[in-house]
């Protein structure tokens, strides 16, 4: 599931060049051209300085979409089927953006180390200097934090739940943009004839990657500022994944996505997973407090700082850090939490030695008692006069 979603999103990062001279022009109705569509997307992004969204997704997972015996013991040692039956549940998301700064929260079902789907609460924050991610206990066994040197968490940009918004609101942003990668114009074609998609008049864009058999199709609304109506990913004629933007709301001069549906397919053309997301609240170009892009980890969080000098530590009271040393790799979270730096495995060994010593002493005492009892039973009895 995760590999399909990552592949699905990864291909979108190579869509088109924004300002390449001599963009391919398709002659046809109303002088439509690829350049005109791109210009409309750029203008819309330029009008949106900040945004705030919250949305709910009804996620439907088919039987075995997370784990299937067909995957073999290499990926599924216990040959489990998860979920055992087709199931649905709600997921909750929110996003705040101000330029390159972003806050993205999600509450959804994710796989745990014991291969069970559990509710996971995650918050990501990027302030233009670094990015932070906090995962509460849930699918992860202990609170986990991460600090990276990137301007934004790369996983946020390819998260399939955030992607439909970024494609519309931040398509060409140098950090967040899905369409900011350079690609050759010869790989993109524009069908100038209007076709009907989801009851909307659309132009079709087609992107063929010469290094892959994957073909992407984009349908843009000819009457709504060339907003995306559908995007599909195909391979050898088979649908791999698809997004449908089913509803927009007009906010001033800006069309805002209000409902979208995503579908991932199996190789046998059956549905692997699907979900419909509905926006509950949103605001455009409202003031955003800088504190929205701050993220403090709670006490007890195992923090991983990444950069030129990576370090792991458990956050303690008063901001103190219990460093995790290389010698402690292999220690459990509980062992690290209950010991000082460098003592995670040593303290465990000491406890085991104490237990063994106590057990041995107890065994010696028991054997001594038994021997004494046997001696007493076999000793000739002397009758008293």
Question: Model confidence over 240-282: pLDDT tens digits?
Answer: 999 999 999 999 999 999 999 999 999 889 999 999 999 999 9
Distance of CA 107 to the CA centre of its chain: 11
**Cα–Cα distance between 226 and 283 in angstroms, integer?**
21
Distances (CA, A) of 338 to 142, 300, 331, 342: 14, 11, 11, 12
| Tokens, residue 157 | 């940009």
| Alpha helices in the chain, H assignment, sequence order | 2-10, 34-47, 154-158, 163-169, 333-337, 344-378
Q: Which residue has the higher pLDDT, 152 or 257?
A: 257
Distances (CA, A) of 37 to 9, 16, 42, 203: 22, 12, 9, 10
**Cα–Cα distance between 14 and 233 in angstroms, integer?**
13
Helix or strand run (H / E) with residue 15: none
Q: Which residue has the higher pLDDT, 139 or 24?
A: 139
* Segments making up each domain of the chain, as ranges: 2-290
Q: Which residues contact 27 (CB under 8 A, 6 or more apart)?
A: 192
pLDDT tens profile 81-92:
888 899 999 999
Residues 139-148, mean pLDDT to the nearest whole number: 94
| Tokens, residue 275 | 């979900």
| Tokens, residue 60 | 């439907």
Q: Are 191 and 204 in contact (CB under 8 A)?
A: yes
**The pLDDT of residue 198 is above 90:** yes
| Tokens, residue 299 | 């006490």
Q: Are 281 and 54 in contact (CB under 8 A)?
A: yes
- Report the relative pairing of strands 302-305 and 144-148 from DSSP bridges: parallel
**The pLDDT of residue 184 is above 90:** no
**Cα–Cα distance between 110 and 120 in angstroms, integer?**
6
**The pLDDT of residue 221 is above 80:** yes
Mark residue 29 as left, alpha or beta (left: phi above 0; alpha: psi -120 to 50; beta: remaining).
Answer: beta
For the chain, how many residues are written?
A: 385
| Tokens, residue 266 | 């199996």
Predicted local confidence at residue 211, as pLDDT: 81
Binned at pLDDT 50, 70 and 90, residue 180 comes out as: low
Q: Which residues contact 206 (CB under 8 A, 6 or more apart)?
A: 188, 189, 190, 191, 215, 216, 217, 218
**The pLDDT of residue 179 is above 80:** no
End-to-end CA distance of the chain: 91
Helix or strand run (H / E) with residue 313: strand 311-315
pLDDT tens profile 96-134:
999 889 999 999 999 888 888 999 999 999 988 889 999
| Domain range 2-290, its CATH number among 2.60.120, 2.50.20, 2.30.42, 1.10.8 | 2.50.20
pLDDT tens profile 359-385:
433 343 344 434 444 434 443 433 333
Residues 277-291, mean pLDDT to the nearest whole number: 96
């Amino acid at each position: 599931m995760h590999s399909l979603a990552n592949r699905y999103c990864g291909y979108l990062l190579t869509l088109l060049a924004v300002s390449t001279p001599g963009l391919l022009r398709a002659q046809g109705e109303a002088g439509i051209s690829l350049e005109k569509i791109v210009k409309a997307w750029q203008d819309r992004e330029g009008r949106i300085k900040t945004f705030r969204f919250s949305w709910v997704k009804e996620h439907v997972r088919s039987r075995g979409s997370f784990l299937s015996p067909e995957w073999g013991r290499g990926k599924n040692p216990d040959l489990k089927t998860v979920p055992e039956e087709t199931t649905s549940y709600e997921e909750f998301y929110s996003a705040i953006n101000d330029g390159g700064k972003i806050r993205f929260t999600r509450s959804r079902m994710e796989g745990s180390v014991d291969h069970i789907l559990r509710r996971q609460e995650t918050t990501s924050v990027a302030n233009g200097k670094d990015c932070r991610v906090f995962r509460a206990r849930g699918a992860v066994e202990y609170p986990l934090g991460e600090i990276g040197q990137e301007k934004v968490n790369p996983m946020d940009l390819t998260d399939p739940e955030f992607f439909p918004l970024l494609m519309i609101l931040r398509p060409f942003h140098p950090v967040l943009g899905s369409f900011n990668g350079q690609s050759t114009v010869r790989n993109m074609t524009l069908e100038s004839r209007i076709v009907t998609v989801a009851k909307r008049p659309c132009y079709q864009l087609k992107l063929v990657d010469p290094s892959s058999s994957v073909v992407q199709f984009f349908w843009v609304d000819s009457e709504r500022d060339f907003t995306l109506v559908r995007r599909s990913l195909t391979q050898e004629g088979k649908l791999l994944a698809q997004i449908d933007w089913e509803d927009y709301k007009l906010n001033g001069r800006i069309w805002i996505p209000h409902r979208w549906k995503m579908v991932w397919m199996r190789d046998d053309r059956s549905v692997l997973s699907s979900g419909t997301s509905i926006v509950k609240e949103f605001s455009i170009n409202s003031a955003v407090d800088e504190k929205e892009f701050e993220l403090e980890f709670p006490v007890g969080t195992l923090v991983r700082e990444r950069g030129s000098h990576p370090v792991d530590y458990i956050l303690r009271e008063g901001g103190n850090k219990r460093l995790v040393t290389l010698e402690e790799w292999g220690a459990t979270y509980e062992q690290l939490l209950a010991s000082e730096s460098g003592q995670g495995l040593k303290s465990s060994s000491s406890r085991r030695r104490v237990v063994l010593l106590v057990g041995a002493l107890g065994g010696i005492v028991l054997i001594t008692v038994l021997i004494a009892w046997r001696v007493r039973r076999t000793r000739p009895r002397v009758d008293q006069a």
